[in-house]
């Protein structure tokens, strides 16, 4: 009779390892989905230079020189020296089959507007764009570090956009 009671207790045990493993996997999936959602169409601009940014605009330009504003040229986004701008951008609705470049127009206080391109985007981009401006340590240039990545690990596989550029010499 003692063995029968013990067998019935074994059958009634809850599979704790299975349930806890399922909960852990579920929590990880939710965490990954949350991180993906946070990094969707996000723009971060850090101005670590000594000069205020009067305006900055971003747009995609394809090989046919057609463009699509993701941060409109008339948006008048400005970032003071030592400050940071965080916001959303608008992803382009379609993409030229040959890809497109990310174009950046920036005007620093007391200087002419500079236009440059970064990366080569081979598909519609909806990830995170991070731009940081800083003073050069070796000369009087302003450097622009830019990265456009998507996914959990901010991959640049489809953007080829992870670079540092010299913009111009300060006067």
Residues 29 and 46 in one domain: no
Residues 80 and 6 in one domain: no
pLDDT at residue 29, rounded to an integer: 81
pLDDT at residue 85, rounded to an integer: 93
Tokens of 79: 């970032």
- CA torsion sign for 52, 57, 58, 63 is negative
Residues 10 and 29 in one domain: yes
pLDDT at residue 74, rounded to an integer: 66
Residues 62 and 89 in one domain: yes
- CA torsion sign for 153, 158, 164, 168 is negative
Contact 52, 79 (CB under 8 A): yes
Domain that holds residue 139: 41-169
- Which residues are bridge partners to 103 per DSSP? 59, 117
Which residue stretches of the chain have pLDDT < 70?
1-12, 35-39, 72-74, 95-96, 168-171
What digits encode the pLDDT tens for the residues 104-117? 999 998 888 889 98
pLDDT at residue 170, rounded to an integer: 47
Residues 32 and 88 in one domain: no
Tokens of 150: 């998507």
Domain of 66: which CATH number? 2.60.40
């Amino acid at each position: 009779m003692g063995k029968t009671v013990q067998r019935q207790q074994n059958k009634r045990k809850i599979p704790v390892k299975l349930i806890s493993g399922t909960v852990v996997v579920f929590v990880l999936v939710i965490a990954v989905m949350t991180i993906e959602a946070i990094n969707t169409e996000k723009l971060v601009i850090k101005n670590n230079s000594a000069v205020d940014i009067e305006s900055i605009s971003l747009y995609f330009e394809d090989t046919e020189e057609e463009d699509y504003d993701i941060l409109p040229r008339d948006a008048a986004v400005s970032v003071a020296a030592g400050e940071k701008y965080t916001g959303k951008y608008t992803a382009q609705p379609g993409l030229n089959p040959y890809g497109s470049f990310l174009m950046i127009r920036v005007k620093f206080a007391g200087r002419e507007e500079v236009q440059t391109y970064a990366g080569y985007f081979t598909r519609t981009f909806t990830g995170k764009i991070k731009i940081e401006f800083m003073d050069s340590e070796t000369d009087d240039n302003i450097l622009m570090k830019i990265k456009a990545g998507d996914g959990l690990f901010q991959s640049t596989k489809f953007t080829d956009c992870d670079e540092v550029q010299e913009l111009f010499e300060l006067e």
